[in-house]
Amino acid sequence: MLIILGSRIGPMPTIGLIVLTGIIGATLARQQGLSTLAKIQNELKQGRAPTQELVEGAMILVGGLVLLTPGILTDIFGFAMMVPSIRKSLAKQFNVRIPKGFTSTSAGSRAESKSSRDDDVIDV
């Protein structure tokens, strides 16, 4: 499709379009990624598992990488991953289950208690 577009509008506008979508995609991915990171931190502060936010973050990462890849279909897919409503509807398809007793501090306390039990081991 990119070759067909290039033959119709010319090589320089096609290259310009590729560069423009890459710049816009990187900007959108950064903005959406930082927003999702703030949501993840908020969920962790409240002691909840940020499952949906992590799935959305992965979608933003994939969308950003795809936007940097030249191509019309990849750009459409990448820009779709940057739209929050599309991401949320797709993220609901991933049914991630977390154990009921999970809190953000319970995983940390397990890690701390394990390390305190292994204090008698010395690695050289």
pLDDT given at position 106: 47
* Domain residue limits at 69: 2-94
pLDDT given at position 45: 93
Residue 81 · residue 62 · CB < 8 Å: yes
Q: How many domains does the chain have?
A: 1
- Is 107 part of a structural domain of the chain? no
- Is 104 part of a structural domain of the chain? no
- Is 76 part of a structural domain of the chain? yes
Residue 61 · residue 82 · CB < 8 Å: no
Q: Mean pLDDT lowest for which of 30-39, 61-70, 109-118?
A: 109-118
Closest CA to 15 of 26, 3, 27: 3
Band the pLDDT of 12: cuts 50, 70, 90. Answer: very high
User: What is the DSSP track for 63-124?
Assistant: HHHHHHS--HHHHHHHHHHTSHHHHHHHHTTS-----TT--HHHHHHHHHHHHHHTTT----
pTM of the model: 0.68
pLDDT given at position 22: 86
pLDDT given at position 112: 45
Band the pLDDT of 110: cuts 50, 70, 90. Answer: very low
